[in-house]
C-alpha cells in the first residue's frame, strides 16, 4: 500500500453523479459497485398513508426495539436505540466523553476519525487511549477484532457489515460499561435510503445519545420496515448464502485478471492491483463504478453486482 496521508479529505463510495459527469451516460446505465450495499435489498412490502402522514408511533418503536433485541441476541444489560442511520450516531458519539485521545487503527471507515476530531479529540493508532473504535469487520480489508482487544473506557464497535457473519459478532460485550455497538440497515439489508441504524450498549451512554437525537428521530416507514426485516430470519439466512456464493464468484473473476485478494466481506472485496486508478477508469468506461482510496495506489474495492450485471462486469474486466 502506498504511504499517502491518512488525513486526506474524506472520500466515500456512491458518488455516482461524479462518475456520470466524467464518463457519460445516464445514471440508470451504471452499475455502482463502490458502496458494498447488498444489490438485492430486503423487500419492504406495503406501507399505509398513515405511515407517511403520522408522527412515528411509540408502540412501533417498541416493536422495532424488541425485534432488534431478538435478531441480534442483545444481552439483557444493554439498551437499544434506533437512529436515523449509523452515520448520525458516529457523528454524535464523541460528544459523550471529554475529549482526549482515541485509538483508530487505519485504514478504516474515515467518518469515525472525522467525528472525533470534530469534537476536539486527538486521533492515533496507539493503544492505551481514552477511547477506541473497532470497525468489525473492518472496511475496507475485513479485519476482525476480538473481545480481548477492548481496552478503552469508551469503545465503539462498528458492526455495520457484521450481519454477513453473525457468528463473529461482539454483541455479547454490549452490556460492558463504556461500550457501544453500531448496526446499519444500509448494508446487509440493502436499504441505505431508509436511513436506519442502531446504537446498542451501555444504558448510561445510550440514554445520552437518545437525548441528543430527540423525539421522532426515526421515521414511521423506517420503524415499520425495520421491524419486518428483523423479524424475517429466513430471508437473512438465504441472503447470507447468496452473498457468500456471489463473493466467491467475483473473486474467481477478478483474480483471473491478476488482481490479488487482500480481504473484505461477503458484501465487498478488496483487491490489490497494479494501478487502482487505471482499473477504475477502465471499469468506468463500461459504466461500472468502483472504489479506490486516497491512501493507496493499488487498492481497489468492489461491491457485488446485481444478478443481471455479471456479464457486464466480466466484459469490463
Q: What is the pLDDT of residues 39-52, one digit of tens each?
A: 999 999 999 898 89
What percentage of residues in the chain have a pLDDT greater than 70? Answer: 96
- Mean pLDDT of all residues belonging to the chain: 95
pLDDT in tens, 76-100: 999 999 999 999 999 999 999 999 9
User: How far is CA 209 from each of CA 116, 133, 183, 229, rounded to the nearest angstrom?
Assistant: 15, 17, 15, 24
Q: Span 250-259, mean pLDDT?
A: 98
Element (H, E) at 126: none
The helix (run of H) or strand (run of E) holding residue 233 is helix 233-255
Which domains are assigned to the chain?
Answer: 16-39+234-316 (3.90.1150.10), 54-232 (3.40.640.10)
What letter does residue 169 receive in the DSSP assignment?
-
Query: What cell was used for 231?
Result: 423479524
Place 10 in a pLDDT band, splitting at 50, 70 and 90: low
Strand-pair category, 79-83 with 197-201? antiparallel
**For 246-256, what is the mean pLDDT?**
98
Please write the tens of the pLDDT for every residue from 96-112: 999 999 999 999 999 99
First to last CA, the chain: 22
Between 134 and 12, residue with greater pLDDT: 134
User: Residue-wise over 220-245: b if at least 16 C-beta within 10 A, else e?
Assistant: bbbbbbbbbbbebeeebeebbeebee
Sign of CA dihedral 116, 119, 124, 127: negative
Rounded CA-CA distance 297/280 in Å is: 11
Tell me the pTM.
0.94
**pLDDT(5) > 90:** no
- Please confirm whether the linkage preceding 107 is cis (ω < 30° from 0): yes
Q: What φ, ψ does residue 89 adopt, rounded to 5°?
A: -70, -40
What value does the mean pLDDT take over residues 168-194? 97
pLDDT tens, position by position, 13-30: 667 888 999 999 999 999
Q: What is the pLDDT of residue 190?
A: 97
At residue 184, φ and ψ (nearest 5 deg) are -120, 145
pLDDT single digits (tens) 202-244: 999 999 999 999 999 999 999 999 999 999 999 999 999 999 9
Which grid cell sits at 125? 493508532
User: Which percentage of the chain shows pLDDT scores above 90?
Assistant: 93
Per-residue pLDDT, averaged over 116-136, amounts to 97
* Strand positions, DSSP E, 223-311: 260-264, 268-272, 288-289, 291-292, 299-303
User: Is residue 6 over pLDDT 60?
Assistant: no
Residues 265 and 251 sit within 8 Å (Cβ to Cβ): no
Amino acid at each position: 500500500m502506498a504511504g499517502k496521508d491518512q488525513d486526506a479529505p474524506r472520500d466515500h463510495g456512491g458518488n455516482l453523479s461524479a462518475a456520470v459527469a466524467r464518463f457519460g451516460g445516464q445514471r440508470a446505465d451504471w452499475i455502482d459497485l463502490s458502496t458494498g450495499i447488498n444489490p438485492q435489498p430486503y423487500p419492504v412490502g406495503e406501507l399505509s398513508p398513515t405511515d407517511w402522514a403520522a408522527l412515528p408511533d411509540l408502540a412501533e418503536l417498541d416493536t422495532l426495539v424488541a425485534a432488534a433485541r431478538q435478531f441480534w441476541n442483545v444481552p439483557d444489560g444493554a439498551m437499544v436505540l434506533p437512529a436515523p442511520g449509523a452515520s448520525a450516531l458516529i457523528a454524535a458519539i464523541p460528544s459523550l466523553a471529554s475529549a482526549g485521545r482515541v485509538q483508530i487503527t487505519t485504514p478504516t471507515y474515515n467518518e469515525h476519525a472525522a467525528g472525533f476530531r470534530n469534537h476536539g479529540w486527538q486521533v492515533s493508532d496507539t493503544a492505551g487511549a481514552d477511547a477506541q473504535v473497532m470497525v468489525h469487520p473492518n472496511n475496507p480489508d475485513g479485519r476482525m477484532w476480538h473481545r480481548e482487544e477492548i481496552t478503552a473506557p469508551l469503545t465503539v464497535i462498528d458492526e455495520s457489515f457484521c450481519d454477513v457473519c453473525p457468528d463473529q459478532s461482539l454483541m455479547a460485550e454490549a452490556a460492558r460499561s463504556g461500550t457501544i455497538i453500531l448496526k446499519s440497515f444500509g448494508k446487509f439489508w440493502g436499504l441505505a435510503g431508509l436511513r436506519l441504524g442502531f446504537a446498542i450498549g451501555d444504558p448510561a451512554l445510550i440514554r445520552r445519545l437518545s437525548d441528543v437525537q430527540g423525539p421522532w428521530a426515526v421515521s414511521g416507514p423506517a420503524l415499520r420496515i425495520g421491524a419486518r426485516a428483523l423479524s424475517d430470519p429466513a430471508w437473512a439466512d438465504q441472503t447470507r448464502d447468496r452473498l457468500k456464493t456471489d463473493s466467491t464468484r467475483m473473486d474467481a473473476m477478478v483474480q483471473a485478471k491478476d488482481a490479488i485478494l487482500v480481504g473484505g466481506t461477503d458484501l465487498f472485496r478488496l483487491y490489490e492491483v497494479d494501478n487502482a486508478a487505471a482499473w477504475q477508469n477502465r471499469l468506468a468506461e463500461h459504466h461500472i463504478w468502483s472504489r479506490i482510496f486516497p491512501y493507496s495506489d493499488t487498492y481497489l474495492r468492489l461491491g457485488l453486482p446485481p444478478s443481471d450485471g455479471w456479464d457486464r462486469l466480466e466484459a469490463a474486466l
